[in-house]
Amino acid sequence: MTQIICVSRGSLSRGRELAEALARKLDYAVLSREDLIEAAIDAGIRVGKLETSMMNPRSFTERLARERDHYLAFSTAYLCDRLREGPLVYHGRTGHLLLRNIGHVLRVRVVADEEYRIQATMKSLGLDRAKAVRYLTDVEEDRRSWVRSMYGVSWEDASQYDVVVNVERMNVHNAASALVGMSQLPDFQPTPASTRAMEDLRLSATARLRLARDPRTGGCGFSVAAHGGLVTVTYLPHDQKVADEIPRVLSGLECMRELRSTMAATTILWVQESFDPASETFREVVEIAQKWNAAVELVQYAPAEGEGVPAEMGAVAGPTVRNAVAGIEEDVEEETRDDSGLRSTLDALAGVGKSGGGRYVHGERRSLVASCCGAVPHSLVVLGNLFQQKDPGARTRLTRELQESLASRMRVPVVTADELRKHYLFGGSDAISMVGFLALVVVLYVLVMTHQEAVLRFLLEGWGGEGALQKYVVAAAVFVFVPIVAYAYGRVARSVMKLIKME
């Protein structure tokens, strides 16, 4: 692999001019974001729809999350393939974020004086000053939204770049000359390690791209990693039907010497009447899913007799189960109202790679239980806000009854949202418990170790009395002491495992 310089440019910041001047001085090829977008469109990626959705989170769906993965895989593979042809200067928004953890990438951010940008906008678009300012503000906000949605970082965060070039007072050609010197530093030259990392990145992107393009696997979500020719493909439990197709799709992939495909470790089932991706329960469920490498399957339950049934489900009669999302679909309008938050929560889960699908269930409690006991295995069931139309006492009783029914049928832990925090997440009470039981364990061990003779004498001779009674006393003392130590030690170990997220 050869050197690449990524120039991140804002609207009318002279970034294109700087990138082209730099490429001429270095005799490097130059590639723009517009060139990459054109290639992506030719490859069948709906970049326009994707950009619109990224800037309007309410219309961003799970299938578009897969389209995003398709676009990222294509862009990464395209850049890596161009680099194989020779050194390159790429200018656009976030090329450097496609090549994260590649040591020889020089990351440049170009900024320009605001007044210059306003005047340039007025001249190029024929706008008055107020409209030009509003235009620049809107464009910059759209780009911030794009970067946040695509990569989960701030576009303007200086730590994302090696150098920020302000062309307000510096001539563009002088700035290019300065960057020529910087690009020749040893820090930005390819090394065996960075070259291997780039090859691994290219291989993983190419594999992901092939999976996205093949009709047998295109509608499924995958996580793909590559290391030294070993390609690992992880799929979610509800996509296990395509497991046998993965080796066929990736057969003959260049540079791949071995393929391993594995299903995500497990699935967490989350049942509620309504969902909110901004809720604390959502954050906690996602945290556990990330720790367990699990997918999260959602069930929105609408009790029978109209209790808590959302408006869009009013016409549904009897026990009903229907899927909320099913793979990548053709382009359709996404204006359907979703008061339950199910779709937006599925999209949020897709954004972090943890969506296990979702569905509506309407009917009696036995309908819900039957729906949850499906073919996909679960390792945890979380019960959130249920029976909201009931009074608090009845709500608690009905939730407990549902909890018992699910636990007996599914034979996995079934917890409420409150119990989730207590059993699986490390909090303040866990810290206090850990410190307290750790102190108890330390005290007991210190007492035993500093009084070994007395302890041994007691175990062998009792308290000095005679007869069988003292034997029973010794046995009783051991019977009480050992479980206390074991329990205290177990509580400490459990808290530590929760703290380091390895329970």
In 10-86, the DSSP E strands lie at: 29-32
Residue type, 27: D
So what's the pLDDT on residue 466? 59
CB 398 within 8 A of CB 286: no
CB under 8 Å, gap of 24 or more: what pairs does 454-457 form?
none
CB 397 within 8 A of CB 404: no
String of b and e for 481-494 (b: at least 16 CB within 10 Å)?
eeeeeeebbebbeb
So what's the pLDDT on residue 322? 44
End-to-end CA distance of the chain: 41
What's the average pLDDT block by block, 10 residues per block, for the chain (503 residues)? Answer: 88 90 96 93 84 61 75 93 94 88 90 88 90 90 80 81 90 94 93 90 94 89 84 79 91 90 79 91 88 84 60 35 38 43 81 76 77 72 90 90 88 87 67 84 88 82 65 81 86 73 55
In 373-500, alpha helices (H): 392-410, 417-424, 428-450, 452-461, 468-499
For residue 113, which phi and psi values (nearest 5 degrees)? -60, 135
So what's the pLDDT on residue 501? 57
So what's the pLDDT on residue 468? 65
pTM equals 0.61
C-alpha distances (whole Å) from 502 to each of 144, 187, 287, 487 are: 35, 37, 12, 19
